[in-house]
């Protein structure tokens, strides 16, 4: 009951943003659906007339349907950039198959005797199509539109990954922030939209033959009207920021920028995977990033000085289940071997090799251990198995591979890796529920995304590295029976970033400089 109340409270508190995301979600779904009907209906009619082409057209549409949605969006970015265009294109491709297939099935299913009678009455092929075949096939065609609509409502949540908006912003932000209310605030409206659209289309589907002729006009007009709901962010020449879903919901992120700095800048939500390249290609001017990310060097970006200190320390350390450390006491000294070997510049270089030079994380990890004389050949691994997890970015892949090699070279344990577990919530829940035994975490994330202390406790810690680490270590052990081991040595803090040339030309060195520039309403360079 308390969970329900807090969910309604969160939704009421975020009602303005929730409404704008819902409207954008409807717009994205309807634009792509309208284009899919405009293309899929003629294609379905064409292959109903030329049945030899049916297998080819349906085969291509079927292949497009099988491509994972996140991969399809990834393919679109190099071609179409970020924002609305790649999202709408991907959604359009997903909607094609059910519309083409059902149009083909509906028209070929019309009784030949009826079309022969119409032809005998002197009707032209066009009249037969529009007055006989399409009205009779309309219930089947609408079934395809229903399927396409439900698919698109679901897939449209992924549009948030490429700065196209929609309800995915709340869903992915909640996953990253370990915030169930935020996940549900995005997921519930998305599910209700799918149900609502499905019910409305099912009512249309059940109307009589005479009404079917009207529906063929009303449905496109209605979709066109709903498509106008989608508004592409317009920055009026100002700087444009792109922040990850996680950053948008954090006190040491967008919320802190607004409350402590008073920063007011046009903002889109975007995935970490494409954010840096978008800044490099001048699609975005300001991004949220990590201070040790290799793409800083790759794309010649600079971090802005955090002069109001909203970003706490983010020292990386292994977090392990206490039960596992009790069972295998030899594990702790092995996992702490990395401590002192990797500082900020070393981690940035390792990330650069993976993010930009496209070297495999396991190769980068192995080479580093060899260079520091930390590598030992694997033993037999007969004593037991340690399950290592990681979040979904290069730095974690590198660290987890190092831990795997250290464990297998220095103990009789076998290590298996479960990489790419998404954001903080997924990794933490997996560890807390004994699905994995260890993953690398950051003190600032443990503090703000998991423990979420009150304002007075945060003020006591004051961003002090040792105090934050001790607090997080003690609370994780007390609340969750999870043990923080010694920090590795680098601080992967949040940072705001700009292209070096742009920051220099605008004389922006700190977040306060950015705030002052944004307030003055100057134009993009």
Q: Where are the domains of the chain?
A: 7-229, 241-307+495-522, 315-492
**What is residue 370's predicted lDDT score, i.e. its pLDDT?**
97
**What is residue 347's predicted lDDT score, i.e. its pLDDT?**
94
Q: What is the DSSP letter of 235?
A: -
Which architecture, in CATH terms, is 315-492?
Answer: Roll (3.10)
Average pLDDT estimate for 84-107: 89
Reported as a single tens digit per residue, the pLDDT across 167-195 is 888 888 777 666 788 888 889 999 999 99
- What sign has the CA pseudo-torsion 466, 469, 475, 481? negative
Strand 286-290 vs strand 384-389: parallel, antiparallel, or unpaired?
unpaired
**What is residue 1's predicted lDDT score, i.e. its pLDDT?**
46
Q: What is the mean pLDDT of the chain?
A: 86
Higher pLDDT, 221 or 323: 323
Residue 450 has pLDDT above 50, yes or no: yes
The crossing angle, in degrees rounded to 10, of helices 69-80 and 272-280 is: 0
Strand order across the 286-290 sheet:
267-269, 241-243, 286-290, 494-499, 301-303
Cβ(24)–Cβ(165) under 8 Å? yes
Largest CA distance in the chain: 90
Report residue 2's pLDDT band, with 50, 70 and 90 as the boundaries.
very low
**What is residue 116's predicted lDDT score, i.e. its pLDDT?**
83
**What is residue 4's predicted lDDT score, i.e. its pLDDT?**
53
- Which residues does 53 contact at the CB level (< 8 Å), separation at least 6? 46, 47
CA–centroid distance for 378 within its chain: 36
Neighbours of 422 (CB within 10 A): 13
Average pLDDT estimate for 396-418: 95
**What is residue 334's predicted lDDT score, i.e. its pLDDT?**
96
**What is residue 231's predicted lDDT score, i.e. its pLDDT?**
56
CA-to-CA distance for 137 and 135, rounded, in angstroms?
6
Average pLDDT estimate for 413-431: 88
Cβ(399)–Cβ(487) under 8 Å? no
Higher pLDDT, 177 or 109: 109
Average pLDDT estimate for 450-476: 88
**What is residue 249's predicted lDDT score, i.e. its pLDDT?**
76
- Which residues does 101 contact at the CB level (< 8 Å), separation at least 6? 44, 58, 61, 144
Average pLDDT estimate for 231-247: 71
- Which residues does 161 contact at the CB level (< 8 Å), separation at least 6? 70, 73, 168, 172, 270, 271, 273, 274
- What sign has the CA pseudo-torsion 33, 36, 38, 43? negative
Enclosing H/E stretch for 466? helix 465-480
Report residue 363's pLDDT band, with 50, 70 and 90 as the boundaries.
very high
Strand 286-290 vs strand 482-484: parallel, antiparallel, or unpaired?
unpaired
22 φψ region: left (φ > 0), alpha (ψ -120 to 50), beta (else):
alpha
**What is residue 497's predicted lDDT score, i.e. its pLDDT?**
94
Q: What is the DSSP letter of 161?
A: G
Report residue 216's pLDDT band, with 50, 70 and 90 as the boundaries.
low
Higher pLDDT, 421 or 387: 387
Comparing CA positions, the residue from 140, 52, 61, 147 lying closest to residue 104 is 140
Residue 236 has pLDDT above 60, yes or no: no
Residues of the chain by 3-state class (helix, strand, coil), percent to 5:
65, 10, 25
Class of the domain covering 7-229: mainly alpha
Residue written as tokens 């100057």?
A: 522
Comparing CA positions, the residue from 386, 395, 390 lying closest to residue 332 is 386
DSSP 3-state of 291: coil
Comparing CA positions, the residue from 95, 105, 106, 107 lying closest to residue 36 is 95
Choice among 142-151, 155-164, 260-269, 283-292 with the minimum mean pLDDT: 155-164
Higher pLDDT, 216 or 498: 498
Choice among 8-12, 283-287, 414-418 with the minimum mean pLDDT: 8-12
Residue 452 has pLDDT above 50, yes or no: yes
Residue 90 has pLDDT above 70, yes or no: yes
The CATH fold assigned to 241-307+495-522 is D-Maltodextrin-Binding Protein; domain 2 (3.40.190)
Residue 234 has pLDDT above 70, yes or no: no
Domain 7-229 and domain 315-492, same fold? Reply is: no
Average pLDDT estimate for 120-127: 84
Reported as a single tens digit per residue, the pLDDT across 22-45 is 888 888 888 889 999 999 999 999
- Residue 244 tokens read as 């990850």
Alpha-carbon distances, residue 248 vs 30, 235, 244 (angstroms)? 26, 18, 6
Neighbours of 419 (CB within 10 A): 15
Choice among 107-111, 450-454, 517-521 with the minimum mean pLDDT: 517-521
* Angle CA 255–389–248, to nearest 5: 10
Percent of residues, the chain, with pLDDT higher than 90: 38
Residue 343 has pLDDT above 90, yes or no: yes
Neighbours of 465 (CB within 10 A): 15
**What is residue 521's predicted lDDT score, i.e. its pLDDT?**
59
Higher pLDDT, 475 or 226: 475
CA–centroid distance for 297 within its chain: 24
Reported as a single tens digit per residue, the pLDDT across 386-395 is 999 999 888 9
Percent of residues, the chain, with pLDDT higher than 70: 94
CA–centroid distance for 2 within its chain: 29
Residue 523 has pLDDT above 70, yes or no: no
CA–centroid distance for 292 within its chain: 21
**What is residue 230's predicted lDDT score, i.e. its pLDDT?**
67
**What is residue 525's predicted lDDT score, i.e. its pLDDT?**
46
- Residue 439 tokens read as 């993953």
Residue 8 has pLDDT above 60, yes or no: yes
Average pLDDT estimate for 246-252: 78
Choice among 355-359, 468-472, 498-502 with the minimum mean pLDDT: 355-359
Residue 209 has pLDDT above 80, yes or no: no
């Amino acid at each position: 009951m308390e969970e329900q109340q807090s969910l309604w409270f969160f939704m009421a508190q975020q009602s303005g943003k929730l409404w704008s995301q819902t409207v954008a979600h409807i717009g994205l779904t309807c634009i792509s659906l309208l284009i899919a009907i405009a293309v899929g209906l003629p294609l379905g009619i064409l292959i109903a007339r030329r049945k030899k082409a049916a297998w080819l057209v349906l085969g291509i549409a079927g292949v497009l349907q099988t491509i994972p949605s996140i991969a399809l969006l990834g393919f679109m970015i190099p071609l179409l950039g970020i924002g609305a265009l790649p999202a709408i294109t991907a959604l359009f491709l997903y909607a094609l198959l059910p519309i083409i297939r059902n149009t083909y099935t509906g028209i070929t299913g019309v009784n030949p005797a009826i079309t022969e009678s119409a032809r005998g009455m002197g009707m032209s092929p066009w009249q037969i199509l529009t007055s006989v075949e399409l009205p009779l096939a309309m219930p089947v065609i609408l079934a395809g539109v229903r399927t396409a609509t439900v698919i698109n409502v679901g897939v449209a949540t992924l549009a948030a990954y490429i700065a196209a908006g929609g309800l995915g912003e709340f869903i992915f932000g909640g996953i990253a922030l370990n915030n169930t209310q935020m996940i549900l605030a995005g997921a519930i409206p998305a599910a209700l939209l799918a149900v609502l659209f499905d019910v409305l289309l099912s009512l249309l589907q059940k109307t009589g033959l005479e009404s079917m002729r009207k529906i063929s006009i009303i449905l496109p007009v209605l979709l066109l009207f709903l498509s106008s709901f989608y508004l592409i962010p317009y920055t009026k020449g100002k700087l444009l920021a792109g922040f990850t879903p996680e950053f948008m919901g954090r006190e040491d992120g967008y919320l802190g920028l607004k409350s402590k700095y008073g920063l007011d800048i046009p903002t889109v939500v975007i995935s970490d995977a494409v954010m840096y390249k978008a800044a490099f290609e001048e699609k975005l001017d300001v991004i949220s990033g990590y201070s040790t990310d290799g793409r800083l060097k790759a794309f010649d970006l600079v971090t802005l000085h955090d002069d109001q200190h909203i970003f706490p320390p983010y020292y990386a350390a292994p977090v392990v289940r206490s039960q596992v450390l009790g069972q295998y006491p030899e594990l702790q000294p092995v996992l702490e071997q990395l401590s002192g070997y990797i500082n900020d510049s070393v981690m940035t270089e390792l990330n650069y090799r993976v993010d930009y030079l496209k070297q495999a994380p396991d190769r980068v990890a192995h080479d580093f251990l060899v260079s520091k004389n930390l590598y030992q050949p694997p033993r037999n691994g007969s004593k037991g198995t340690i399950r290592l997890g990681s979040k979904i970015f290069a730095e974690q892949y590198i660290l987890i591979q190092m831990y795997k090699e250290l464990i297998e070279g220095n103990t009789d344990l076998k290590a298996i890796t479960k990489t790419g577990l998404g954001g903080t919530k997924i990794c933490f829940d997996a560890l807390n529920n004994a699905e994995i035994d260890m993953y690398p975490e950051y003190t600032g994330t443990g503090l703000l995304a998991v423990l979420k202390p009150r304002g007075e406790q945060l003020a006591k810690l004051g961003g002090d590295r040792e105090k934050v680490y001790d607090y997080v270590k003690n609370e994780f052990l007390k609340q969750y029976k999870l043990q923080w081991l010694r920090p590795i040595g680098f601080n992967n803090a949040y940072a705001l970033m700009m292209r070096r040339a742009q920051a220099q030309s605008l004389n922006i060195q700190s977040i306060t400089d950015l705030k002052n520039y944004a307030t003055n309403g100057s134009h993009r360079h």
